[in-house]
Amino acid sequence: MPEQVPYGLRWNPNPPVTVVSLVTYAVAASVYTILSWLGVIALPVGIVGVSSLFVAIGFGIPFAIWFGGWGLLIGFIGTFVGAGILSGTPVLLAIPFGFVDWIQFGIPLLAYRLLAPRLGLHPLGRDVYTLKGFLFFLVFAVILANGCGALYGITILYLGNLVPPEAFWPGVLAWWVGNMIVTVVIAPILLRVLTPVIERYGLATHGVIS
């Protein structure tokens, strides 16, 4: 029996990317973009590009854990287009703003692919509803990821003169708390219910892109 390829962060291990995988990533990118746009326009906090309850993040973090580097691309597209351009953020500001999800998605991706297996946890988060699995998720996917993302995102908007000085820390707090609420409610359900399906159909990346 051939050795099973573990989930990790090698650049391009087998199995290769398939057409079905690419279609899945494209659909995920569309979903994330639409949810990003709707979140920003439907539940604003008075700051361009920021939502009080950014529902998209609850889907985006599982996308990154499952799809690796494709998840980071999905995050950039969704934030650049949905939370950026379509919400009225200038293009030159929307570009660095789009990289916020490289932080919000990158932290849980690195944690799950590199650290989780060493702690006896599944690298795609399917054991998120165990005590150890939930605590791991809470630290790396909820608190750290969204806290660092909020600080980066509000800083970019502040440097672009879209956040007044007095609104900087309230903006960071609103982003952080809102994202944590959404992430802790939605993402664990997706990880627990859909991870076995994603694995069964070979849609999760074993490395960064394949």
**Residue 4 pLDDT:** 46
Strand, coil or helix: 51: strand
Residue 204: count other Cβ atoms within 10 Å of its Cβ. Answer: 18
Q: How far apart are alpha carbons 72 and 65 in whole angstroms?
A: 10
Q: What residue type is assigned to position 75 of the chain?
A: G
Q: How far apart are alpha carbons 148 and 58 in whole angstroms?
A: 16
**Residue 39 pLDDT:** 86
Read off the DSSP letter of residue 48.
Answer: T
Residue 166: count other Cβ atoms within 10 Å of its Cβ. Answer: 8
Q: What residue type is assigned to position 68 of the chain?
A: G
Q: Per the structure block, which two tokens stand in for 182?
A: 């959404």
Which residues fall within 8 angstroms of residue 44, CB to CB, at 6 or more apart? 50, 51, 52
Q: How many CA atoms lie within 13 A of 31 on its CB side?
A: 16
Q: How far apart are alpha carbons 58 and 56 in whole angstroms?
A: 5
**Residue 189 pLDDT:** 98
Kindly tell me the burial class for residue 158, based on how many C-beta atoms sit within 10 Å of its own C-beta (0-12, 13-18, 19 or more).
middle
Helix residue ranges per DSSP H, the chain: 19-42, 56-67, 69-77, 91-98, 100-104, 106-110, 131-137, 145-159, 168-200
Tens of pLDDT, residue by residue, the chain (210 residues) = 333 458 999 988 888 889 999 999 999 999 999 999 998 887 777 777 688 889 999 999 999 999 999 999 999 999 999 988 988 889 999 999 999 999 999 999 999 999 999 999 999 999 999 999 999 999 999 999 999 999 999 999 999 999 999 999 999 999 999 999 999 999 999 999 999 999 999 999 999 999
The model's pTM is 0.92
Strand, coil or helix: 44: strand
Strand, coil or helix: 53: coil
